[in-house]
Chain A
Amino acid sequence: MQVPANFTQLLTEWRSGQPQALDRLTPLVYDELRRLARGYMRAERGSHTLQATAVVHEAFLRLIQANVALQDRGHFFALASRLMRRVLVDHAKSRSRIKRNAGTREAAADGSNETAPHFNVDVVALDDALESLLQLEPRLAQVIELHYFGGMTYDEIAQAMGASAATVHRDIRLARAWLLNEINGI
């Protein structure tokens, strides 16, 4: 697979505050997600959302793979997982806008499929709660981003952040409980 060589470059530009870099990054993430999704989604059965989560994580890994030799791994991973979050949240927001305009979609006709199942947490609410957490404890917000949007394991996060895996595990438990409390409390 070819991740465009300028992915790193664009990411660095985005980080240094050039918003137009995001416009050029987003299609790269989309393409990668779709390319991977073709394989995953063909089976159309079983646990959709977990498959979709796996797609996200694999796309993330592929995007950063081409750049492992990067000087500052911790920052780079943080940035890439932030990007993934941005893409998913922006899409969810624009979609709900379309939905409001177009009215609700009709039920699947052939009974073989269903519309997206209903979940008590949606990604926009999660995004808002993460913003609050960032104010309170930036470290916790970051491990959540790395773990959930980047699909990184505790060990990988520990390595990137220079902490122990046990600490990361504890942080994630705390942060998750805090976020769910926050979201459900609204």
Chain B
Amino acid sequence: MLPRARWQKIQSLFEELVDLDGVERVAHLDKACGDDSDLRVSVQSLLSFDGARTDPLLNAIGAAAESLLEDHRDRLIGSRVGPYRIVSILGHGGMSTVYRAERDDSQYHQTVAIKVLQHAAVHPRLRSRLHSERHILATLDHPSIARLIDSGELEDGTPYLVMEHVDGESIDAYCDSRTLFVRERIELFIAVCGAVHYAHRNLVVHRDIKASNIFVTDEGTPKLLDFGIAKLLAPESLSHTLPVTRLQERILTPENAAPEQVLGRPITTATDIYALGVLLYQLLTGRSPYRLLSYSQLQLERAICMDDPTRPSQIVVSKLKDETDLDRSRISDRRGLSPQRLRARLSGDLDAIIAMAMRKEPDRRYPSVEALADDLQRHLLGQPVRARQGDWRYNSAKFLRRNLFAVVTAAAIFVGLVTIAGVTLWQNHRIGIARDATARERDRAQQVSAFLVDVFSRADPFMAQGREVTAKDLLDQGAEKIKSNDTLQPEVRAQLLESIGLAYRRQGLSENAIPLFEQAVTIRREARPLDNRVLAAALANLAQALTDAGHLVSADAYLQQAVALSQSGEGSQSAETADIVFQYGNFLLSAKSDPDRAKKLFDDALRIYRNIPGDQHLAIAATLSALAAAAVWSGDYMIAEQHQREALNLFRATVSRNHPDHAVALATLGHILAQRGKYTEAEQTLNEALEIERNVFGADNQRVASIEADLGILYQRKGDPARAMASTMNALKITTNHLGANHYLTGYFFDAIATLDLDAGNLSAAESNARQALAVYAQALPAQHLYVAATRQLLGEVLLRRGQYAAAETELRAALDIDIALAGSSNWRTSRTEASLGWLLIEENNAAEGEPMLAAAQKKLLGTLGAGHPEVMLATSRLADYFRAHHREADAARLQPIAGAAAPPLR
């Protein structure tokens, strides 16, 4: 025991020194300890234990607690279960603990494994799963499948299974610890195939084949364990109810999952063939084809469905991140080869065989496990293998990328089936869900899903024989089947029409959707009793399709009906009503350019969403985004930025990066930031949005067009007219292809190009493109529309610069009338037109009217857009020119800093 005084000295020194850094500490220590080296050692030793990154004391307590808690599992050790005595724990997984137990009575001695379900009371589903496992295993009798010996329940009702005890190690560890050559590994694998094939013949699919589920005994016999999630593949369970139950289960081992498991499609024997392909890949290369470490779960699932894995022969010579040459050669060492030799051994047959087993489409894999084993056998005998004959060169990644849209849509439709909703964008999500499902409604919902499953499982892109199936093909087939089927109840027919119509709309095929929605509305109107909410939803769907297709007048009429219906009666504060109100707000904003009325509707919708308990984040985010758009129309970019950032944060918190709404929100923020002069952040944001849209939805879609157009504006502001023109032209091209020559957006992009022409001084092109834009607007928009005003202002400006003053004045005065009527006299659009008109009047020698108009407009523009905005610079330099021409040098000089040194580039 330390003397008291000594201890106190150590203590106070520790406290004195503990916060000093190294050099100071040493100096202090030298001074304080002098010759007393014992003291010095004591203090130094204490100090050395301070500040470790992990806290060993915390770990000690944690380990103690863990072992205490493990005793919960240990409590069975030593007890008797039936004729067996439990000896030790073999292992435990998420839902069960496996014990080693012995039977040692007069009859014989036997060691078994007993699998006991944990927390059975908490998870009744697991209990029934184990129950089914019992029956499955009982039917299997094969030397390479662990036998079920007995089953029962513990005193407290916990179920257990008694299984053959396998003494050995997992197949990958076995191969590595014995340095098995490639040939020996393949032979062992063929034995595993024999067991799986036997199970398949008995209508059992394993579903979770992986190295840790296959043990190899000392004698070299492989044994398949854990049919925990296997399901009987009996003929009656192959009916159309299958996909629905599939989705309830999550994949247990994502790295080994087959594409159909990721997509929630039917699991068949081909799923096991895929898993065997993964296993062979791992046994031969020491790597997994898809690794969770380098991916998020979502990316992993995407990779499994989209990307071909690195070829086995390739992966054995490549180094993964953080690996050394040593790590790499350790893998080939365990196969008795150098990396280069191993590569040569795998390339050719084995690459092809694994690729064929792991094909994305189940029906393009080996037709049976036996066929896979045969091909390996042929390889070992030096005979030509099947995988390299015929179409082995096929490229699944390309196939899937081409079909991505179909796959995504089909997956969305399947998800929709589970909720009986049809389609998943949030506005439409709820429509058609039988919320307070009566028995009749449930029955109807089942009919709908049965019908759709029937259509889509047959038109499954995976099952397309040698031909691409597009989403449109699926939908055309669906629509055709509805038409030809006259046994459908009216309500079921209406719901099917709406589901398919919504899917068409999401594909951008609104014209195809319109007749389906019209029929659905007719059916809903004739229904007795009349259901206002369902009718309102049907009308809103029809109106949206009409809006998308550019039929604005009838869209407006239907929307008004829909709003009136949904706001009458008890559902007036429901999410469905808010959806419709929101939709009308959007319509007023984009089709009618009426930001004030739109803003009121958005506020209404937002209030309703916020008062609804539960998860309305997406709806709220979309509404905030719409409020931002309304603020953009009003020229209030600061408010717009606030709303949009709030919306974006909500999207980030609730949906994946690739969600379409997230990409749109990003694009909108980019647009706003560009308008606010925050060019760097704007460019980053727009490019991120563009990347998501291109990767997920393809380069040729309307949202890509609008992002390109925003980038065009941005490049122009940054002084890169060539890129600006290229982006904007691309936007115009996509839009014309998609929406047609008479869609108002086509006009909008003509206007954008005319603006670029004007800035480049290309006046005749500018005039012709502006007139093109106006010609489109004449077809697509009401004459009183802000887009029309903007283009007439642009045309007036072009004509002004070409010296055609009379024609210019006509355009500018027409634009000004619309601006004042729709945007108000203080809006920057109005000021911009006034600035042009004022300058025109001055050029026409009418300075008495022109000068005050230009001066007032310049002041308002400066107030709303801020110095540095091209419009402000143009108006200001014009005013300064006027002052100089009239020898008012002082006034001109006062304006010079705002006008900028060079002539401003924009109108």
Say if the beta carbon of B83 comes within 8 Å of chain A. no
Interchain CB contact under 8 A, A119 and B69: no
User: What is the minimal beta-carbon distance from B70 to any residue of chain A, in angstroms?
Assistant: 7
Query: Within the assembled complex, what's the spacing in Å between the Cα atoms of A173 and B18?
Result: 9
Of the candidates A106, A123, A176, the one whose C-beta lies within 8 Å of that of B90 is: A106
Say if the beta carbon of A71 comes within 8 Å of chain B. no
Interchain CB contact under 8 A, A148 and B57: yes
Interchain CB contact under 8 A, A148 and B64: no
Query: Within the assembled complex, what's the spacing in Å between the Cα atoms of A184 and B225?
Result: 44
Query: Within the assembled complex, what's the spacing in Å between the Cα atoms of A112 and B61?
Result: 23
- List the A residue with the shortest CB-CB distance to B50: A177
Interchain CB contact under 8 A, A88 and B64: yes
Please, which residues of chain A bring their CB within 8 A of the CB of B680?
Answer: none
User: What is the minimal beta-carbon distance from B72 to any residue of chain A, in angstroms?
Assistant: 6
Which stretch of B93-101, B174-182, B281-289, B758-766 is in the interface? B93-101
Say if the beta carbon of A153 comes within 8 Å of chain B. no
Q: Mark B92-117, 1 if CB is under 8 A from A, else 0.
A: 11100010100000000000010000
Please, which residues of chain B bring their CB within 8 A of the CB of A174?
Answer: 11, 14-15, 18, 46
Say if the beta carbon of A186 comes within 8 Å of chain B. no
Please, which residues of chain B bring their CB within 8 A of the CB of A164?
Answer: none
Contacts A92-B64, A121-B57; is A108 near B91 (CB within 8 Å)?
Answer: yes
Q: List 15 A-B contacts (CB under 8 A).
A: A42-B94, A52-B69, A53-B61, A53-B62, A105-B89, A106-B89, A109-B91, A110-B93, A110-B98, A119-B63, A148-B61, A174-B11, A177-B49, A177-B50, A184-B49
Say if the beta carbon of B56 comes within 8 Å of chain A. yes
Of the candidates A44, A50, A111, A116, the one whose C-beta lies within 8 Å of that of B67 is: A116
Residues in B175-230 with C-beta less than 8 Å from chain A: 211-213, 215, 225-226
User: What is the minimal beta-carbon distance from A50 to any residue of chain B, in angstroms?
Assistant: 6
Please, which residues of chain B bring their CB within 8 A of the CB of A41?
Answer: 69
Of the candidates B50, B57, B58, B66, the one whose C-beta lies within 8 Å of that of A116 is: B66
Residues in B19-61 with C-beta less than 8 Å from chain A: 45-50, 55-61
Say if the beta carbon of A179 comes within 8 Å of chain B. yes
Interchain CB contact under 8 A, B92 and A108: yes
Say if the beta carbon of A135 comes within 8 Å of chain B. yes
Please, which residues of chain B bring their CB within 8 A of the CB of A42?
Answer: 94, 119
Q: Mark B61-81, 1 if CB is under 8 A from A, else 0.
A: 111111111111000010000
Please, which residues of chain A bring their CB within 8 A of the CB of B1?
Answer: 135-136
Say if the beta carbon of A75 comes within 8 Å of chain B. no
Please, which residues of chain B bring their CB within 8 A of the CB of A15?
Answer: none
Q: Which of B57, B88, B92 counts the most A-chain CB atoms under 10 A from its CB? A: B57
Say if the beta carbon of B170 comes within 8 Å of chain A. yes
Please, which residues of chain B bring their CB within 8 A of the CB of A105?
Answer: 88-89
Say if the beta carbon of A38 comes within 8 Å of chain B. yes
Query: Within the assembled complex, what's the spacing in Å between the Cα atoms of A162 and B386?
Result: 81
Interchain CB contact under 8 A, A95 and B67: yes
Interchain CB contact under 8 A, B93 and A123: no
Interchain CB contact under 8 A, B91 and A52: no
Residues in A107-128 with C-beta less than 8 Å from chain B: 107-113, 116-117, 119-123, 125-126
Please, which residues of chain B bring their CB within 8 A of the CB of A120?
Answer: 56
Interchain CB contact under 8 A, B98 and A109: yes
Say if the beta carbon of A69 comes within 8 Å of chain B. no
Say if the beta carbon of A24 comes within 8 Å of chain B. no
Say if the beta carbon of B234 comes within 8 Å of chain A. no
Q: Which of B46, B64, B77, B213 counts the most A-chain CB atoms under 10 A from its CB? A: B64
Query: Within the assembled complex, what's the spacing in Å between the Cα atoms of A117 and B56?
Result: 13
Say if the beta carbon of A155 comes within 8 Å of chain B. no
Say if the beta carbon of B426 comes within 8 Å of chain A. no
Contacts A34-B72, A176-B57; is A56 near B45 (CB within 8 Å)?
Answer: no
Please, which residues of chain B bring their CB within 8 A of the CB of A106?
Answer: 88-90, 100
Interchain CB contact under 8 A, A177 and B56: no
Say if the beta carbon of A51 comes within 8 Å of chain B. yes
Contacts A112-B91, A135-B1; is A52 near B65 (CB within 8 Å)?
Answer: yes
Q: Mark B1-20, 1 if CB is under 8 A from A, else 0.
A: 11000010001001100100
Say if the beta carbon of A143 comes within 8 Å of chain B. no
Contacts A34-B72, A91-B71; is A119 near B60 (CB within 8 Å)?
Answer: yes
Of the candidates B11, B62, B226, the one whose C-beta lies within 8 Å of that of A50 is: B62
User: What is the minimal beta-carbon distance from A32 to any residue of chain B, in angstroms?
Assistant: 12
Say if the beta carbon of A137 comes within 8 Å of chain B. yes
Of the candidates B7, B63, B93, B226, the one whose C-beta lies within 8 Å of that of A122 is: B63
Interchain CB contact under 8 A, A102 and B88: yes
Query: Within the assembled complex, what's the spacing in Å between the Cα atoms of A49 and B57?
Result: 11
Query: Within the assembled complex, what's the spacing in Å between the Cα atoms of A107 and B167?
Result: 12
